[in-house]
Structure 1
Amino acid sequence: MRNKVLGVGLLTLLIIGLCIGCAGKQFPPDDNEYSDQIRLNQIGYYPNAVKKAVIVEVKGATDFSIVDRKTMYSVFEGKLSEQISWELSGEKVQIANFSDLTKTGKYILYIDCLGYSYPFEIRNNVLDQVFLGSVKAMYYQRMSTPLEEEFAGKWHRPMAHPDDNVSYHPSSGRNEGFLNSPGGWYDAGDYNKYVVNGSFPLGQFLSFHEQYPNTLKDNSLNIPESGNGTSDYLDELKYEMDWLLTMQDDDGGLFHKLTALNFQGMVMPHEATAKRYVVGKGTAASLDFSACAAKAYRVFKEIDANYAHKCLEASKRAYAWALENPDVEYLNPEIVSTGQYGDKDFLDEWFWANAELYISTGENEYLKKLTESDFNFEFVPGDNWTKFMRFMGMFALLDNKETLSSQIFESLKKGIILEADKLVERSNSLAYFQPLDDFQWGSNSDVLNAAIIIANAYRLNPKPDYLIAVQQAADYVLGANATGFSFVTGYGHKTPMFIHHRQSEADGIDEPIPGLIAGGPNFGKQDVADGVVYPENAPPMKSWVDQEPSYASNEICINWNSPLSYILGFLENESK
């Protein structure tokens, strides 16, 4: 019996030894010292996704290994590509492609002369937490309410900016009285709120919900409304929509913004006590609001019919005001120096408003106006909140195929697919595989908005190339880029710590508010005159710094988080 037991024991040891041998070479312990020369998605990859790392400025390297962080044995061995010169990033690089590794786990990439990459995971739903964080970030932007520790954790703060007795600036057309306009989200790193740049990102958030309505349920975000039986996602969006409704004048037009006369210092919200004003009215604000409110009608009509109809009626009144005032360009009055969000070409705003109102009402007058001119499918970096809303109108129409003639539907479908094909071709030829070669203010949002076009092409025609391009856009903002940073605060191993965001600067907490995406490389570097120092002779893709004063590259903004949330949510639904 004793000999039999010994035999079993020896056999077990032999099997274990063979298994370890199959696992590959054992590597030194992970000492948490990671190489910035290995650039990859610091969150991770879906099992069936394309998986690439970029190896920067290394001579003589030919091989790489993927190492299991738990066992420290290699699970995948591969050859690096030949060295490539990338002008946009000013680098010579090699590519490590480990797409064939599909086993779930926690890994690091190893190269002999460099050591380890930042850790990453391979698993289903690998972007779930950063998706949730990108939406929860909007809760941290709430105003007119305290952020309680129960929901905000260490980033809790007192109530600020009640906005319940706001003066009218002379540009508003009002000479007396006050406006009760509480709530909403702080627009960016400042403490003002803007109708154009409130309606546009809210429209993107609502678009995602229309396409993927069951992604976020009640109790998913830990916000004050959690547990009320309604999706936390919609609860958060309603907080912004409620504020937008207060910005509508009695004649239907929308005031452009609610703001102090100047940007305030880097202080906490409750310490920014300058007098606030309702400023101006304009065609852009009225049309963007009209489109967003018409979309909100559809989203909320099954949840709260009265609220939904309130949104639709407000949308129609704003549209009617725009018909009577079709060319009112907003410009900052002489004594107001906060964000202008100006625009004098309203074709895209008209398209979005007509599309959403047509879908919500079925009234042909809106469809007729939609088809009065040719559709424009060209994606132009930097247009962002001035032009991208026409795409939002197109996506809404395509999602409601039954309301369109086959001719209009096919025209829209063909245009989106052709533009997506161009963007995919561009991403396949560019450094770091992002669909962008022009790095302007908020370039990360340009990457993500281009990815939204590709994502909607995938919804129309699920070609693998489209899904790969969207995944690689997410890889880019999560670490596979020329800076080596995951641009989303708190998500990844090397993330921005000094974003241009007043609360994050003034709250005395080392980490910034989590879930916010930094603007990204900006070749304009408009903040150099204010003392921001960029790397000397920085190429376009490296025109970014993790410095608090860098409003041109390191600020956050709600219209940059909205495409981030869309893309992360899209991938969570489509990457199976």
Structure 2
Amino acid sequence: MSRLIGVYGILVLLFTFGCKEEAPPNDGTFSNQIRLNQIGYYPGATKKAVVITESEISNFRIIESNSGETVFSGEISGPFIWELAGEQVRIADFSELTNEGSYQLYIEELGYSFPFEVKDHVLLPVFHGSIKALYYQRAGMALKEKYASKWKRALGHPDDSVIFHTSSGKKTGFLKSPKGWYDAGDYNKYVVNASFPLGQYFLLEEQYPKCVTDGDLNIPESGNDISDYLDELKYEMDWVLTMQDEDGGLFHKLTTKNFEGMVMPHEAINQRYIVGKGTAASLDFAGAAAQAARVFMPYDSIYAKRCLQAAKKAYSWSVENPEVEFVNPEDISTGQYGDTDFDDEFFWARTQLYVTTTDNTYLDKLNKEEIDFTYSAGDGWTKFMRFMGIFSLLENKSLIPDELYNSLREGLLHTADDLAAKSKTNDYFQCVDDFQWGSNSDVLNTAMIIAQAYRLEKKPEYLDAVRQAADYVLGTNAVGYSFVTGFGDNPPMFIHHRQSAADGIVDPVPGLLSGGPNYDRQDMSDGVIYPENVAPMKSWTDHEDSYASNEICLNWNSPLTYILGFLEQESK
């Protein structure tokens, strides 16, 4: 039993049986047995720490970092057995702590947690950092110290004369295909995994326009009176536009034949090729380009019209070529991004083209489609674009028939209710219980679904579930890491990312999301070592060789940016 008493604006807790002894001074060490959001919490948010212990402990305290004073105290619940994490845990709930400040959680038997803050806009630096990470991924540009600080580097991959691979349908010739972002820890560029993340990035801009302003990110385009966010997205969109063939179809990827070694971009000089063409790349591009037309219209109508025309051509090619599956040619071993079912891609392309053009040709097709609202772990770049189409239609209620709108609303809310319910009972309070490649993106994609439900109905449990997804990737997880490089006191230091491995700088490039636990651990065949009999939620290792658990990727950063931007806007 406890009670809170305000003293000079600070909450001080007195136990009914007398004042609790003050905590000893913090010697700068932190207990990784106390798992919490290492960045911090919004004042009104649920705040829970997971304590890993088999000991009988009952109380915790929140210590104000500057004064060393106890400002909150409470009882620890549990124990609970969490099978997915392979742990016995207890829970410290300090949601009643709402005063802004810098704090640490203290447990006498374990010591101090990592520090955290409670304040408005607490996640703004991580939000901006997740976008600035895209600048560090730019191909075809030297990163100058003025913008990149210690991560400056020479220009790599101008891609001004890329050879056509025979799989492209071209027997000879070159393509000028500059700009764009490196997709992941490698130096290749993929149309599927450029277009799908762009759709997630564009959604944030459509729902929360100008959530990033000119100058927020300190990039070369800062100061041009256009949002730094749109400037960064245009750098990628400019590249994807170059990958469209004259007939409207999209080449699948720009790549070397094999992955480069762990070297800097300007040292990765193997021949690059324009490889393949397919329905998935063409439809994903059509969806992203149609969305780009809406987003860029207020700023550059000529560019917006170019994007829309390209989207229409890509869709028309796909209608004429509805089953062109991309498979790596025998001499190409880089990322395949393959798919055999294009229903989700067709749905996304039609939704974006309809919302942009209001052409009933696209709507007629949508009205005839049976929509699946089921979310499955690993959906990612093969199926999640179905939800992206649903989100856009729900955002444009006036453009669609009431029957379609009501069906979409009901289906989405039902899925969101199921996911939010899972977050209340799942280990570490997130919605995913199947840990596949890029599981952190699954956590954030499910949070995106719940975020759309919150935009439809302002239920506190929806917002709470989205916040706890952010807590998960920022430290409240089974390995006790903040999964975003450069943020938190225990972030990944050895991500599978060629520049970070080769630049001679201790700190990896900041703002990149590690893939997260992956129970399949495909990289074990290449010598990566995980703990013996590792639990699903602990199938992760901070090692640069671990491409299965510790690589970075555009389609993992994009839902991170969306969720952080959503929370910054909706937690005001």
Partners of 1:25 and 1:74 within 8 A in 2: no
Q: Deviations over 1:412-468 (max 9, x none)?
A: 111110000010111111110010000000000000000000000000011000000
Secondary structure at 1:571's aligned position in 2?
helix
Q: CA deviation at 1:179?
A: 0.2
Q: Which residue of 2 aligns with 1:191?
A: 187
357, 360, 367: which is aligned to 2:356?
360
Partners of 2:102 and 2:117 within 8 A in 1: yes
Q: Deviations over 1:293-351 (max 9, x none)?
A: 00000000010000000000000000010011000000000000000000010000000
Q: Which residue of 2 aligns with 1:493?
A: 489
Are 1:300 and 2:311 matched, yes or no?
Answer: no
The one-letter code matched in structure 2 to 1:566 is: Y
Give the Cα separation in 2 of the matches to 1:25 and 1:183. 60
The one-letter code matched in structure 1 to 2:63 is: V
Q: Which residue of 2 aligns with 1:139?
A: 135
Give the Cα separation in 2 of the matches to 1:303 and 1:338. 37
460, 481, 492: which is aligned to 2:456?
460
Secondary structure at 1:439's aligned position in 2?
coil
Q: Which residue of 2 aligns with 1:283?
A: 279
Q: CA deviation at 1:178?
A: 0.7
Secondary structure at 1:228's aligned position in 2?
coil
Give the Cα separation in 1 of the matches to 2:386 and 2:369. 13
Give the Cα separation in 1 of the matches to 2:239 and 2:405. 34
Q: Which residue of 1 aligns with 2:440?
A: 444
Partners of 1:478 and 1:486 within 8 A in 2: yes
Partners of 2:23 and 2:108 within 8 A in 1: no
122, 131, 138: which is aligned to 1:126?
122
Give the Cα separation in 2 of the matches to 1:353 and 1:186. 24
Q: CA deviation at 1:58?
A: 3.6
Where does structure 2 lack aligned partners over 5 or more consecutive residues? 1-6
Are 1:380 and 2:376 matched, yes or no?
Answer: yes
Q: CA deviation at 1:20?
A: 8.6
Give the Cα separation in 2 of the matches to 1:370 and 1:207. 20
Q: CA deviation at 1:26?
A: 3.1
426, 435, 438: which is aligned to 2:422?
426
Q: Deviations over 1:227-278 (max 9, x none)?
A: 0000000000000000000000000000000000000100000000000000
Runs of 4+ in 1 over 4 A off after TM superposition: 18-25
Partners of 2:164 and 2:172 within 8 A in 1: yes
Q: CA deviation at 1:90?
A: 0.5
Q: CA deviation at 1:57?
A: 1.8
Q: CA deviation at 1:214?
A: 2.0
Give the Cα separation in 1 of the matches to 2:12 and 2:451. 41
Q: Which residue of 2 aligns with 1:152?
A: 148
Secondary structure at 1:81's aligned position in 2?
strand
Structure 1 pair 73/58, CA: closer, same or farther in 2 (3 Å)?
Answer: farther
The one-letter code matched in structure 2 to 1:197 is: N
The one-letter code matched in structure 1 to 2:64 is: D
Are 1:98 and 2:94 matched, yes or no?
Answer: yes
Secondary structure at 2:50's aligned position in 1?
strand
Q: CA deviation at 1:559?
A: 0.5
Give the Cα separation in 2 of the matches to 1:20 and 1:223. 44
26, 36, 40: which is aligned to 1:40?
36
Where does structure 1 lack aligned partners over 5 or more consecutive residues? 1-14
Are 1:525 and 2:535 matched, yes or no?
Answer: no
Q: Which residue of 2 aligns with 1:262?
A: 258
Partners of 1:54 and 1:95 within 8 A in 2: yes
Matched pairs, number: 561
Partners of 1:24 and 1:75 within 8 A in 2: no
The one-letter code matched in structure 2 to 1:232 is: D
Are 1:405 and 2:401 matched, yes or no?
Answer: yes
TM-score for both structures, normalised by structure 2: 0.97
Give the Cα separation in 2 of the matches to 1:500 and 1:566. 23
Partners of 2:448 and 2:562 within 8 A in 1: yes
Secondary structure at 1:80's aligned position in 2?
strand
Partners of 2:530 and 2:539 within 8 A in 1: yes
Q: Deviations over 1:114-167 (max 9, x none)?
A: 000000000000000000000000000000010000000000000010000000
TM-score for both structures, normalised by structure 1: 0.96
67, 70, 75: which is aligned to 1:79?
75
Q: Which residue of 1 aligns with 2:339?
A: 343
Give the Cα separation in 1 of the matches to 2:254 and 2:311. 20
Q: Which residue of 2 aligns with 1:566?
A: 562
Structure 1 pair 505/365, CA: closer, same or farther in 2 (3 Å)?
Answer: same
Partners of 2:12 and 2:71 within 8 A in 1: no
Q: Which residue of 1 aligns with 2:3?
A: none
197, 201, 207: which is aligned to 1:205?
201
RMSD: 1.3
The one-letter code matched in structure 2 to 1:114 is: L
Q: Which residue of 2 aligns with 1:225?
A: 221
Partners of 1:169 and 1:279 within 8 A in 2: yes
Structure 1 pair 294/19, CA: closer, same or farther in 2 (3 Å)?
Answer: closer
Structure 1 pair 413/70, CA: closer, same or farther in 2 (3 Å)?
Answer: same
Give the Cα separation in 2 of the matches to 1:20 and 1:511. 38
Partners of 1:24 and 1:73 within 8 A in 2: no
Structure 1 pair 21/100, CA: closer, same or farther in 2 (3 Å)?
Answer: closer
Q: CA deviation at 1:82?
A: 2.0
Structure number with bigger Rg:
1
Q: Which residue of 1 aligns with 2:542?
A: 546
Are 1:319 and 2:315 matched, yes or no?
Answer: yes
Q: Which residue of 2 aligns with 1:6?
A: none
Q: Deviations over 1:503-524 (max 9, x none)?
A: 0000000000000000000000
Q: Deviations over 1:162-204 (max 9, x none)?
A: 0000000000001122100000000000000000000000110
Give the Cα separation in 2 of the matches to 1:60 and 1:378. 41
Partners of 1:86 and 1:431 within 8 A in 2: yes
Q: Which residue of 1 aligns with 2:212?
A: 216
407, 410, 413: which is aligned to 1:414?
410
The 5 A counterparts of 1:222-261 are 222-261=218-257
Q: Which residue of 2 aligns with 1:4?
A: none
Partners of 2:12 and 2:72 within 8 A in 1: no
The one-letter code matched in structure 2 to 1:186 is: Y
Q: Which residue of 2 aligns with 1:477?
A: 473
